[in-house]
Structure formats: structure tokens, C-alpha cells
Amino acid sequence: MEIKHINEKKNLVFDRKEIEAKIISEISPSNKEVLTAIAKKLSVPEEAIKIRGIYGEFGSKEFEVQANVYKSKADKEKVERKTKKEIEIEQKAADEAKAKKGEE
């Protein structure tokens, strides 16, 4: 996976950068792969990035990615709403941590 082109716009209202990137990949990239690639390219922590979408066309190896990059995780959590799936994942991780502590 290779990031070919990045457009950045600063949004002063929400204190973030709005990123549009072109990614070349043989298969459709996952959110985690895109998150890691953007974090590495922009030198920011993964927790401070919110992927808005990964868009591709049938048969194409180019994908357009839209993301918001914040200064910190706290800034991201102030602005972005969590999806139901994200809430469930966090709850599951918290439950597993409790179960693990209970075993010890």
C-alpha cells in the first residue's frame, strides 16, 4: 500500500486538518491499514485520526481516503461522535480487562 497524494485543509472551527489522500493498493485497504499509513506519513498518533471513508471504484487499484486529523485524542473525542460499533468495541475491551483482572 502506497500513499500517492495528500491534500490538507485546515478547519479552524473544529481545530483539525481535513485530509484527502489517494492510496494505491492491490486490494481494498482496511481502516486499520489506512490509519497506520496516514499516522506514519503525517507523524501523528493513530488515536488522533478519524477515518471518514475509503472510496474505490470497481476494478481500480486507486482508493480515495477522507480523514480528520486532530492534535490529540482528547480533541478528537470532543468533536467526533462515536459510532455504535466503536462503542461496542470499547465496551468489549473493558469487559475483557475486568475479566482478566478478576482471574488474577
> Domains, the chain, ranges and CATH?
2-103 (3.30.70.3370)
* Mean pLDDT score of the chain: 89
Helix extents (H) in 11-81: 31-42, 73-79
Digit-coded pLDDT (tens) for 5-18: 889 999 999 999 99
Nearest to 68 by CA among 22, 13, 11: 11
Q: How many CB atoms lie within 10 A of CB 71?
A: 13
pLDDT reported for residue 83: 85
